[in-house]
Structure 1
Amino acid sequence: MQNPSHVDIQRVKDFLLDLQARICAALEQQEALGQGTAKFIIDDWTRAEGGGGRSRVLQEGTVIEKGGVMFSHIDIKNLPASATARHPSIAGAKAQALGVSMVIHPKNPHIPTSHANIRLFVAQPEGKDPIWWFGGGFDLTPFYANDEDIQQWHKNAFDLCQPFGEQVYAEHKQWCDDYFYLKHRDEQRGVGGLFFDDLNRWDFDTCFKYIQAVGNGYLNGILPLFEKHREQPYTEEQRAFQLYRRGRYVEFNLVYDRGTIFGLQTGGRIESILVSLPNAVSWSYRPCWQEGSPEERLTSYYLKPRDWLNLGTSKVSHTI
């Protein structure tokens, strides 16, 4: 297996920083098209343990209520349990991790919340060759869902996977369904997309090309949804439902998300780790929605794993 050189790692870093800048520019354009003036602030930081990052955050916009697009490249002196459970051979090893992670919370309830991340992890066990893998993906969390938006999102994911093998989309779509699942609620966080970890099944360059496709594919998937719904009117009741459903997002990120756990265990920068949490959110005790309403249908139909590309033959299943 090809081991990444310093040059290879720098290539990944350059792409990640460029991706971060392009995503922020595209989202700022959506903000401007919605007559907003909010911009992403740039917050460069370093950590005493080694490495640092560039956090870019937009808050209280007209179109985007909160968005965080975060780059980090950190050195780790002693790998924590969250990184070694599946790889006991690297326990205690030095490592470096670099990636871009983003969560965008639009203000309009008709625009889904979206998340994406791509990352490279390289461990250096003493006296052994480096152990490396890529991870990442993207997923969609609508509040007022419709088949057309979800199919467009998954068709984009399917298309970008095709050059890498006919089974890649199905595998990484299933992984996404299984991962973004709230066990204590018995429901999905959203309608899925792609998720993968421990990716080194191909040579380094091919794996790198795949995460480039995923990173670029996020923009191709989310921008049409902004364009479609940015000016769509909404009611106070729809806004209240959005805030209620955001509570599920918070629950997942604080209870299950590996990135959050990894960041906390490695002494990460807390503001960057928790940037995915929305500024406005609510909880309610056992609310009831009218049967057949969009609110009720979200959980009874849309928040179930489905074959979104072939809804006529779709079967609901879960492998957890």
Structure 2
Amino acid sequence: MASRRGLMFLLSNTFRAGAVGLRRNSRKFYRSGLILGITGGSLLGISTVSAKELVIGLSDEDDTALNLEEFMATPITPSAILETSSEMMHRMELLCLKVQGDVCREIERIEGTTKFKVDRWLKCEGIEGGGITCILEDGAVFERAGVNISVVSGNLRPEAVKSMNSQGRDLPVEETMTFSAVGVSSVIHPRNPMVPTMHFNYRYFEVNPDMSEKQWWFGGGSDLTPYYLNEKDAKHFHCTYKSACDMHGPSYYARFKRWCDDYFYIKHRCMRRGIGGIFFDDFKSKNADACFSFVKSCADAVIPSYFPLVQRHKNDPFGMREREWQLFRRGHYVEFNLLYDRGTKFGFTTPGARYESILMSLPPRATWRYCHEPSKGSEEAELLEVLRHPKEWVTV
């Protein structure tokens, strides 16, 4: 009897190890534990069903296991749901979690010693869900870098519906309307003025009007804001996104590059925020999987499009003149984000808005100078010329 109990104890722990192994994505460990357990169970007179119950809720299919170590924090949606669900909200949440983890690890690798502060938060005031804010500040390479994800649902306020309708949608303002949204967004402000600022955002949105069919769409993009123009950098950034777009549609890059130039326009200054990239909204078709695949390709392009530029210029020499110009141009960045950016406006109209996460996109330092114009023929003037008259950086 003692040996039987000992074997049962060993078998039970084998299953526990298999469960832990799966949660850590050590699938071979899990599989070997399951096979040994079922075999041992039959020898001990334990039914196969009872043996499987020792790993409740876990699947033996490789593609359903989550590697939680890839993520910066525990997902907002329970892992058991994310492992098995085919809902687009859940697929997009997994993509956002992975992109956030990959980008944060790349930033920490370049930064060296400074690490991200990770803040997992939950919504309130009638909004369900939450998000994960990752923020790194005062690093040697990055003055501020933030990578956020949010997974929220609730009721849309009338002002939010009106804002969405102003962009060409036709949603009923008077009806009660629920929404679900998931997205990842990031703004990276480097310390060296020779390294450009980079922004990306990829999101999925669903609305459910009363008595109407659910509507859904994707949106997002990536754009570059240099302080000093480097054509090699600009071409590299745009070529990377053109390659990502070309895998899904020959007209995508030209269409979304033009949309990006138009969207990031600072009206009161008659110039763009930066040298663009791609931008799209209301992206949908009869094939949601194809739309998701396109968004994934764009998100996968973030690291190869930007971080080689960081490595190339993070140690470039600069002086007070370059630093002051960087801070001045950051002021323009702030103006666009607070006055024109749709995401910022929507965030502030959402019940229970988390303002710290919304304002994470702003640089830690910026300046404004009265009626300042750089000297003609200067490098600063060269940049402004491109911001006022966008260039085609790659052949379409």
2:382 to 284, 297, 300: 297
Distance 1:202 1:60, change over 3 A: farther
2:118 to 24, 30, 42: 42
Structure-2 residue corresponding to 1:317: none
Query: Number of matched residues?
Result: 303
Distance 2:146 2:97 in 1: 14
Q: Deviations over 1:279-307 (max 9, x none)?
A: 11101012232211111111023552111
What pairs up with 1:129-148 in 2 under 5 angstroms? 129-148=213-232
Q: Is the 8 A contact 1:44 1:53 kept in 2?
A: yes
| 1:16 and 2:131 correspond | no
Partner SS for 1:228? helix
Task: Choose 39-48 or 120-129, whichever is displaced more.
Answer: 120-129
Structure-2 residue corresponding to 1:286: 371
Distance 2:95 2:288 in 1: 15
Q: Is the 8 A contact 1:90 1:123 kept in 2?
A: no
Distance 1:90 1:295, change over 3 A: same
Distance 1:163 1:74 in 2: 31
Structure-2 residue corresponding to 1:318: none
What pairs up with 1:298-317 in 2 under 5 angstroms? 298-310=383-395
Structure-1 residue corresponding to 2:170: 88
Which structure's residues are more often helix, by fraction? 2
What pairs up with 1:104-253 in 2 under 5 angstroms? 104-201=188-285, 203-253=287-337
Distance 1:222 1:128, change over 3 A: same
C-alpha displacement at 1:223, in angstroms? 0.9
Letter in 1 for 2:308: P
C-alpha displacement at 1:141, in angstroms? 0.2
| 1:27 and 2:107 correspond | yes
1:260 to 344, 347, 356: 344
Distance 2:366 2:302 in 1: 25
Distance 1:7 1:241, change over 3 A: same
C-alpha displacement at 1:78, in angstroms? 2.3
Q: Is the 8 A contact 2:328 2:366 kept in 1?
A: yes
Point out 4+ residue stretches in structure 1 off by more than 4 angstroms.
none
Partner SS for 1:215? helix
Letter in 2 for 1:145: L
> Rg bigger for which structure?
2
Partner SS for 1:305? coil
Distance 2:341 2:222 in 1: 14
Aligned alpha-carbon RMSD (Å): 1.5
Distance 2:114 2:388 in 1: 32
| TM-score when normalising by structure 1 | 0.91
Q: Is the 8 A contact 2:257 2:279 kept in 1?
A: yes
Partner SS for 1:274? helix
C-alpha displacement at 1:150, in angstroms? 0.4
Task: Choose 132-141 or 267-276, whichever is displaced more.
Answer: 267-276
Structure-1 residue corresponding to 2:149: 71
Identity of aligned residues (%): 40
Q: Is the 8 A contact 2:89 2:181 kept in 1?
A: no
Distance 1:275 1:304 in 2: 29
Distance 1:296 1:261 in 2: 31
Partner SS for 2:301? helix
C-alpha displacement at 1:195, in angstroms? 0.1
Q: Is the 8 A contact 2:241 2:253 kept in 1?
A: yes
Q: Deviations over 1:95-140 (max 9, x none)?
A: 1111001000000000000000000001111233210000000000
C-alpha displacement at 1:201, in angstroms? 2.8
Distance 1:17 1:90, change over 3 A: farther
Distance 2:95 2:341 in 1: 24
